[in-house]
Amino acid sequence: MKFYAHFTLLSFVSIILVTGCKSKTSEVSNDGPGMENPLLAPWIDLYGGVPPLDKIKFSDFKPALMNAMAEDSVEIAKITSNTEAPTFENTVAAMELTGSTLSRVINLYYVWSSNLNTPEFQAVDTEMGPKIAAFYDKINQNEALFKRIETVYNSTDKKNLNAEQQRLVWKYYNDFVYYGAKLDVGSKKKVADINQKLASLNTKFSQNLLADEGLFLELNEKEASALPADVKEACAQMAKNKNKTGWLVANTRSSIEPFLTYCTDRSLREKAWKMFINRGDNGNATDNNSLITQILALRAERAKLYGFPTHAHWRLSNKMAKTPEKAMDLLMAVWKPAVARVGEEVSNMQKLSDKEKAGIKIEPWDYRYYAEKVRKATYDLDENEVKPYLQLEKMREGMFWMAGELFNFDFKQITDVPVFHPDVRVWQVLDKTTGKQIGLWYFDPYAREGKRSGAWMTAYREQSRNNGEVATIVSNNSNFIKGKEGEPVLISWEDATTLFHEFGHALHGLCSNVTYPKLSGTNVATDYVEFPSQILERWLATPEILNKFALHYKTGVPIPQDLVKRIEKASTFNQGFTTVEYLASALIDMKLHLAGAQNIDADAFEKNELAKLGMPKEMVMRHRTPQFAHIFADDGYSAGYYSYLWSDVHSADAYEAFTEAGGPYDKVVGKRLLDHVFSVGGTVDEAEGYKAFRGKEPSVAALMHNRGFPYTGK
């Protein structure tokens, strides 16, 4: 189960959760106790099976999880007790048929965790997190099961398997080794204990962050009236969502960043900025600093048990980068030119503020405000001039059209499937030529209480055909502020880029064409999985999308070409800021996890290491350590935040294949992208898959060019 968050050249919003569970077919009969539990019942017989989302209650999760884990244990015991010699079919392929009930239940468990994380659910999450961790450790540490997998892995008969089957054997063997299958009994016990402790700490970290994101800044009428109409309306809607009158600035990125960009009251900007950057760092009951210290210590201890010098070395051992040193080399290669660009950006902002006789020195809460002023002055480009042409629903239609051109998909809205909230809508995805169903796409665009901030993709079910044809179900989730009834939701260029990015993850799942679920869709290395989504961002700016779908919400007139040219001209504007705030987080992530067994004070470590790096004082990390959910909500992207830059090297280089061929909709290049990237999942080595698409390894040159940074090729 994966939740992929968004990073573009412009933005990085949270959140990512990754678990080790497998996704299987939804059609499982359950005649035993608990049949009345909707999580344990077979999915509704529509469109290949859909979850009964409208029937699920918080109280259903614990019994469903316990039942499903018990069922999975029985299924695995049948494999380990088989007296026949281990073969691909009776061991590895058999593993791919286990855990179908658990996969359905746990996938929906994490849907609730991200979208309906109320106090009632948090109680369940707190209890079940360690139990789920313990269950997966029992599988990963099952000696009898591993010996059977190892036997198949070492068998000379393996050459008789097809390429995907060989890859599946390789994947199972290496995953088991990665999670400690070769450890002695005592070490396995220690690892299991650590994982349960980490599960509890990760859950608490997430809950603390969610609590702090529930804070808000209240505005009076005068303060609200100084904001642009759309920002003011969003603040009014936020107040309404919290059953208050007036205007509120929520403590989430989607509310804070527009406020910091347009609020003319500097003291209010400072107040809002400090509220936001101090999430998880207020010295109160929701402070995350002590949790971070414990998490880092446990990760360091576990890495030693696994035989690695640090957590970073363990985490990168099965990634494309392979070593922390390679990842750090890339980060530092971009860091210096990015910091230099920040110096230029600050200088330009300071000159403008001096010209206005503001009498200030640029501080972090001034950056977005004065950057917008500089953009207007330099490029004659105002974000508020662009937004009227970016209607959320029109952008969604544009994404559908793009998917039709690139992958031959057609989207048909359906209304007869249950959803977990009235705001969620569903589309059936079809092959335009044959009419065959590809899968389902759920869209949950609006912010709500208990929903994590940011944007992400989720797989409810992954494509496979090892037990009959199973179509994928994916969703995209965002946090746009819902507008007034009947009025379109207008979004920024950055928001539209985010939308295309997350849709790229969804398409990665929908395009999957493999046999086994473990290798399906987005089940690739974390420093490769962002590549398909990052390259999809680039289609937003194509003339075909803008002319057809960037229509003024009042007149229906396409966005003027003059405005498009100004957007293109300003494409590298503020890249120093966006790159440095991301890189600072990625570097601190890696440094924290390279520190080994040090007893780390998160705040002090962050401050000292950023000073050593020469972090510009006019800005902060994109995700300060006490709110860094990407690396502390679970293990998923710990020592892995570098992945977005690593993947963007691929996406920048890959898009050049289209420009070299004559355009972004070139059918030949598009077919290669589908065949070697989007459809193959984890059936091939990621580096080999990329080379099969591109004909060469990626170059960092395209990345540097896209960001407007100098590149010598050294």
**Which residues have CB under 8 Å from 313's CB, separation 6+?**
303, 323, 324
Alpha-carbon span 198 to 314, nearest angstrom: 16
Pairing label, strands 216-219, 12-13: unpaired
> What tokens appear for 545 in the block?
């999308």
Does an H or E element contain 278, and which? none
> What would the DSSP string read from start to end of 594-623?
HSTT----HHHHHHHHHHHHT--TT---SS
The total of other beta-carbon atoms located within 10 Å of residue 308's CB is: 16
Task: Please give the Cα distance from 141 to 177 (Å, whole number).
Answer: 9
Task: Identify the residue whose tokens are 């520190």.
Answer: 595
Q: What are phi and psi of 2, to 5 degrees?
A: -135, 140
- 250: which DSSP letter? E
Q: How far is residue 256's CA from residue 246's CA, in Å, rounded to a whole number?
A: 17
What is the amino acid identity at position 262? Y
- Measured CA to CA, the distance from residue 223 to residue 615 in angstroms comes to 32
Distance CA 346, CA 363 (A): 9
| DSSP 8-state assignment for residue 561 | H
Q: Which of 596, 627, 634 has the alpha carbon at shortest distance from 133?
A: 634
Between CA 626 and CA 315 the distance in angstroms is 21
- In contact, 25 and 104? CB cutoff 8 Å: no
Give the Cα separation of 27 and 375 in Å (integer). Answer: 54
Cα-Cα end-to-end distance for the chain = 39
Cβ-Cβ contacts under 8 Å for 276 (sequence gap 6 or more): 251, 253, 256
| Helices 602-613, 575-594: crossing angle, 10 deg rounding | 120
SS3 459: strand
DSSP state of 424: -
At residue 499, φ and ψ (nearest 5 deg) are -60, -45
Task: Report the C-alpha gap between 615 and 609 in whole angstroms.
Answer: 9
Task: Show the DSSP H helices in 285-358 as ranges.
Answer: 289-306, 311-316, 324-355
Query: What is the rounded distance in angstroms from the CA atom of residue 467 to the CA atom of residue 24?
Result: 9
User: Do strands 456-461 and 472-480 pair parallel, antiparallel, or not at all (unpaired)?
Assistant: antiparallel
| Residue positions annotated with a catalytic role | 502
Of the candidates 533, 534, 519, the one whose C-alpha atom is nearest the C-alpha of residue 686 is: 519
SS3 category, 403: helix
Q: How many CA atoms lie within 13 A of 224 on its CB side?
A: 19
Question: Environment class of residue 283 by beta-carbon count within 10 Å: exposed (0-12), middle (13-18) or buried (19+)?
Answer: exposed
- Please, is 500 exposed, middle or buried when counting C-beta atoms within 10 Å of its C-beta (0-12, 13-18, 19+)? buried
Count of residues for the chain?
714
From 572, 465, 569, select the one nearest 520 (Cα to Cα).
Answer: 465
- Whether the CA torsion 235, 4, 18, 298 is positive or negative: it is negative
